[in-house]
Amino acid sequence: MSDTTAPSDPEGKKILLVMTTGPEDPDKTYAPFYTAALMAAMEIDTTMYFLMHGPELLRKGAAEKVPLKKGGNLKQFVDMALENGVKFLACAESCRDLCEIPADEMIDGVKLVGSATLADLALDADSVISF
Amino acid sequence: MAILNGCEFPDDRAYFIERTQMTWVRVEGDRLTVGLTDPAQTRAGKVLHVRIKAAGTSRERGKPIATVESGKWAGPVMAPVTGTVVESNAEVEKDPSLLNTDPYGRGWIVVMTATNPVEVTTLLRGEAALAKFKEILERDHIRCMRCQG
């Protein structure tokens, strides 16, 4: 019988990924969603918080228009993250004032929250990663 | 051995098919060997990393016993029944491509025991399993292929 566990079990920990990049820089969009999906699959409580240009990726039909160098587009990775249980929170102020996205134009599964929520999430998380 | 869309399904296995999960289970007494099916490894693509829960880990049905990542897919391998991992495949952790090249053989992932043996009878077998696979393969347009090396 072999023990092949990871050095420390991340299960049950909380990670917050802060996403500020939008479709203007496609190369920086894949890794956050892929990493979040993987973390959620590891049973880490994973939240992505989208602000600045980040919410643009959550507009209906937007991810399909973000090409990836590895082929395909971002949509499958957004879907994979949601499917694995990643929570998507978007900054209401960024959506309204910067991205100008009405709530009904966001994809399903996104919750709009205020800026103060970011403070709560960051303080509550075991680790915060910013993209 | 049944074959659908180029995907192989050995007759001597039971199958756990739920949401995105398509795993096989070989029942030998109270030992349940678990691995990815042919369509599951095809959908994942060439697996680059796998992390497997250590022996002694207790899992509820539907909770992960391993995570698999390929660059195009990252997801859990879920426990087909509630139970305890008694052995994990160190060879697969060293060489994850075994999940692609030999999913029903050297690519096994864990051996577990079931907390409630009755739950094992809920796994799909034979025609019932094949009907479910047929539905998924057609819905998701999956045609199997085996990565080499």
Closest to B35 measured CA to CA, from B58, B12, B57, B56: B12
> How much is the average pLDDT of A102-108?
93
* Contact of A113 with A87, CB cutoff 8 Å: no
Indicate whether A2 belongs to any domain. no
What's the rounded Cα separation, in Å, for the pair B47 and B101?
10
Residue of B69, B84, B113 to mutate, interface with A, max A Cβ within 10 Å: B69
Sequence-ordered list of residues with C-beta below 8 angstroms from that of A40, at least 6 positions apart, any chain = A46, A81, A84, A85, A86
pTM over 0.90: no
Residues of chain B contacting residue A43, judged by C-beta atoms under 8 Å apart: 63-64, 76
Query: What's the pLDDT score for residue B19?
Result: 79
Write the CATH number for A85.
3.40.1260.10
Residues of chain A contacting residue B69, judged by C-beta atoms under 8 Å apart: 38
Residue A102, both tokens: 């009405």
Query: What's the pLDDT score for residue A71?
Result: 87
Q: Is the confidence at residue A3, as pLDDT, over 50?
A: no
Residue of B46, B49, B51 to mutate, interface with A, max A Cβ within 10 Å: B51
pLDDT digits (tens, 9 = 90+) for A14-58: 999 999 999 999 999 999 999 999 999 999 999 999 999 999 999
Partner-chain contact B63 A43, CB within 8 Å: yes
DSSP H or E stretch at residue A69 = none
Tell me the mean pLDDT per 10 residues along chain B, length 149.
94 92 95 97 93 94 94 92 97 96 97 95 96 94 76
Minimal Cα distance from A11: which residue of B?
B64
Interchain CB contact of B105 with A (< 8 Å) = no
Partner-chain contact A83 B90, CB within 8 Å: no
Indicate whether A8 belongs to any domain. no
- Mean pLDDT, all residues of chain A: 91
- Identify the burial level of A25 via C-beta atoms within 10 angstroms of its C-beta, where 0-12 means exposed, 13-18 middle and 19 or more buried: exposed
Sequence-ordered list of residues with C-beta below 8 angstroms from that of B12, at least 6 positions apart, any chain = B26
Closest to A52 measured CA to CA, from A115, A112, A95: A95
Interchain CB contact of B20 with A (< 8 Å) = yes
In chain B, the domains with their CATH numbers are 2-138 (2.40.50.100)
Of A4, A41, A76, Cβ closest to residue B76 = A41
What's the rounded Cα separation, in Å, for the pair A85 and B133?
24
* Contact of B25 with B16, CB cutoff 8 Å: yes
Indicate whether A3 belongs to any domain. no
Indicate whether A83 belongs to any domain. yes
Query: What's the pLDDT score for residue B147?
Result: 62
Of B51, B71, B74, Cβ closest to residue A6 = B51
Indicate whether A32 belongs to any domain. yes
Number of folded domains that form chain A: 1
Residues of chain B contacting residue A37, judged by C-beta atoms under 8 Å apart: 74-75
DSSP H or E stretch at residue A37 = helix A30-41
Domain extent at residue A74? 14-130
The sign of the torsion formed by the CA atoms of A92, A40, B103, B47 equals positive
Residue written as token pair 């990493």: A35
Eight-state DSSP code of residue A105: G
